[in-house]
Amino acid sequence: MYKIILKRILDFCLSLIGFIVLLPIFIIITIYLIFSNNGKPFFFQKRPGKNERIFSIIKFKSMNDKKDNKGNLLPYEKRITKVGAFIRKYSLDEIPQLINVIKGDMSLVGPRPLLIEYLALYNEEQKKRHLVKPGITGWAQVNGRNSISWEEKFKLDIWYVNNLTFLLDMKILLLTLKRVIKKEGVNSKENLNMELFAGN
């Protein structure tokens, strides 16, 4: 019952309330980013969701698009804006994803939506992470985030899929809140430059 109906109701209600509460912060950050990112406050990227259905994830744009004379994007250190560094430090860049949850593309809790390019690299077990909606936070995020290997992260994702319950979701949300408050492993430079998944 929870997986099929109640989780979606909870996602919608909590995300809507959260978005309304955070709306003043959302508006302020949007205005700042409009000026610091040449009128582009948001970052959109195609990601696979439940059953590998593709959707556009929404985040605040924390880096500019400056490139070198060869057309390649400059390193993180030269593209991150002052506002961008601040919102990443406090995970405020994730706020627009509440819109994804309200729309039904994502859940508050679930495996993080990764790059489309990874779909062809998963083995049959790893593909199970797409049996549920991706989340803003997840079991892997509160158990090491990007400090653990891809193999460990996928194992945690699949464990979540197989053990999804209301109590587990509440535990993950509380642990996430604790990590954000304490800034434990939240959007550090190392997390931003994590090695790409190259397959098994």
Query: What is the per-residue pLDDT across 102-111, written as a single tens digit (0 to 9) for each?
Result: 999 999 999 9
Give the domain range for residue 179. Answer: 2-191
Lowest mean pLDDT among 1-5, 115-119, 121-125, 127-131: 1-5
Interval 79-85 mean pLDDT = 83
Whether 32 has a pLDDT exceeding 50, the answer reads: yes
* Spatial separation of the C-alpha atoms in residues 189 and 53, rounded to whole Å: 30
Residue with more model confidence, 78 or 30: 30
**45 pLDDT tier (thresholds 50, 70, 90):** very high
From the list 167, 139, 33, 185, the residue with the least C-alpha distance to 95 is 33
73: left (phi over 0), alpha (psi -120 to 50) or beta: beta
* pLDDT of amino acid 190: 41
**185 pLDDT tier (thresholds 50, 70, 90):** low
Residue 199 lies in a domain: no
Residue 26 lies in a domain: yes
Interval 7-12 mean pLDDT = 98
* pLDDT of amino acid 83: 84
Whether 130 has a pLDDT exceeding 80, the answer reads: yes
Q: Percentage of the chain surpassing pLDDT 90?
A: 64
Residue 55 lies in a domain: yes
Contact 130, 52 (CB under 8 A): yes
Total domains in the fold of the chain: 1
Residue 42 lies in a domain: yes
What does pLDDT average to over the chain?
Answer: 89
Residue 196 lies in a domain: no
**198 pLDDT tier (thresholds 50, 70, 90):** confident
Residue 200 lies in a domain: no
* Spatial separation of the C-alpha atoms in residues 61 and 158, rounded to whole Å: 30
Residue 72 lies in a domain: yes
Residue 197 lies in a domain: no
**79 pLDDT tier (thresholds 50, 70, 90):** confident
